[in-house]
Structure 1
Amino acid sequence: MNVNLTQSASDALKKILAAKESDKPVRLYVAGFGCSGPSFGLAFDDKKEDDLEANANEIDFIMQTELFEQYGDFTIEYVDEDARKGFILTPSVQPESGCSSCGGSCAV
């Protein structure tokens, strides 16, 4: 498992870690699903038995083995422009998405 961080993502995560005074690793997880596919999130969490570990820019990350097997490595970016502010998690294996029309009749 590899996690690639942009410099802005590394700086933002280190700021958050310092403010939280947390020594827990950062978990990558599926935050939800929509017509355009899964959305991914970050959270501080304890390592569990089935987790994989990685370190990027002196930040520890964890991820369920199943998530890695499905989506591969991740790149994490941080944006802070106009109305957009936050982390963008991009898996190396692009997830399948729905129709993106949001007509409400997607067959899942």
Structure 2
Amino acid sequence: LQTANWMSIESLLNPEAEHNDMEEVTDKDIFDAVMTAQKEEEAEEACNADASSDGCIVLITSRKEALKAASTLQQYVGSMDDPFVCQLEGLLASFGQKTRLEETRSLKDTKITMYF
């Protein structure tokens, strides 16, 4: 190692660039950042409590999650003996079939040469 490439332990552990950045950050900057984060968390919690609000982002359930929920319901009502439950089982089965058919129809044809 050449002497021009030597670096002291102090400069390695505490680079000047990081030291200069820390001097520029004030207590007010830190306070503002914390308060902004806290307001965002409160707004997110409010959105979770009231999902019908226009300002909230509503996540759409994936097909996989919907099919899993339908399967869980089918397992739950499978042991019940009620005309309504029979209708519900039929609807859940139909939902599963239509969802899978819709997923199959959304697939696009590809050729093997597209991957090489």
Q: What TM-score comes out, normalization by structure 2 length?
A: 0.17
Give the structure with the larger helix fraction. Answer: 2
Q: Which structure has the larger Rg over C-alpha atoms? A: 2
Give the structure with the larger strand fraction. Answer: 1
Q: Which has the higher contact order (CA 8 A, sep 6+)?
A: 1
Q: What TM-score comes out, normalization by structure 1 length?
A: 0.18
